[in-house]
Amino acid sequence: MSEQAVPTEWETSQFGHLALEVRGAVWRALGAAHLRALAGHKGSGLSSNDAYGLMWLILPEELAKELATVTAVRTPRPKGARYCLTVLDESNLIIYPWKYGDTAYAPLESAKMNLSDVRKRLLALGAAAGSDQLSIDHAAMSDEELAEELQAEEDFLHDAAEAGRLIVLAFASNPHAGVLRAFWGDASLGDDSGHLNWSHVEEVPPAAEPGGGQSRPAPARPLAPVPGPDTNNDTAARFDQAPLEEVVLSARNPAVPPDGGQPPTPDSETGSDD
């Protein structure tokens, strides 16, 4: 069994015997969502990646569809959200996708998530413990507004806790190279700028398929090195190993022109960019 076909310790603790199947479903969902976003990007005719950016709405649908082939899935829609959450019934986990970068070199540790109220409340599930401390924004609210705000958050967290614990699926992709990298783990909100605190994070390995294949395209292979000179004396002689013809030099009669008195040959016609 190859290394890629073995679940990590964290994957096993989260998904149990379904670890490899969940991993494969995640990669299939990422690939399918990329193709849909790419079709929108090409169809829009935009030079920017704005249309491809709708992948944040597409991926939750593909994720639920692919994971449903592995285990029972629930798709509750948080109040105020434009997408449904993907909840695994057996492990009672929410897998929440987030596009953190456009290149394979984008550093996850410094990436910032655009924060909405839904995301803030979801990330509160990843915190080690809740906090009743009021923020500066709360100080400007009336008692009625504050009570309504805190009650809404309590209701949301209760509903989310009923659904399960949060796993963030962070990935990097672009319309030209596809999905480049993916990570998942346990995260909570680090600060108001959108930085995340990861209590655990690891790269999602490419899932092994039957027959030894992979569920995502293999990276481009580097070009083979240019072969060096052949130092083996038993090989055939090279073109530059032939003896050079001796050129006999003599003084030219100054009365004879260099071309021997023949008219110059016209140059052959060549193409032009003009």
Alpha helices in 75-210 (DSSP H): 117-123, 136-139, 143-163
Neighbour order of strands in the sheet with 86-88: 73-74, 86-88, 93-101, 165-174, 178-189, 196-203
pLDDT at 84 exceeding the cut of 80: yes
Q: What is the pLDDT of residues 160-191, one digit of tens each?
A: 555 558 899 999 999 999 999 999 999 988 88
Q: What is the pLDDT of residues 125-163, one digit of tens each?
A: 765 434 444 455 556 667 777 777 666 666 655 555 555
Whole-angstrom distance, CA of residue 64 vs CA of residue 31:
14
What pTM does this model have? 0.65
- CA-nearest of 75, 18, 60, 19 to 205 is 19
Q: What is the pLDDT of residues 193-239, one digit of tens each?
A: 889 999 999 999 876 544 444 444 433 333 333 333 444 445 445 54
pLDDT classification of 97: cutoffs 50, 70, 90: very high
> What does 109-141 look like in DSSP terms, one character per residue?
GG-BPPP-HHHHHHHGGGSSS------HHHHTS
Q: What is the pLDDT of residue 2?
A: 47
57-88 burial by CB neighbour count: b if 16+ within 10 A, else e? ebbbbbbbbbbeebbebbbeebeeeebbbbbb
Phi, psi for 100 (deg, rounded to 5): -100, -15
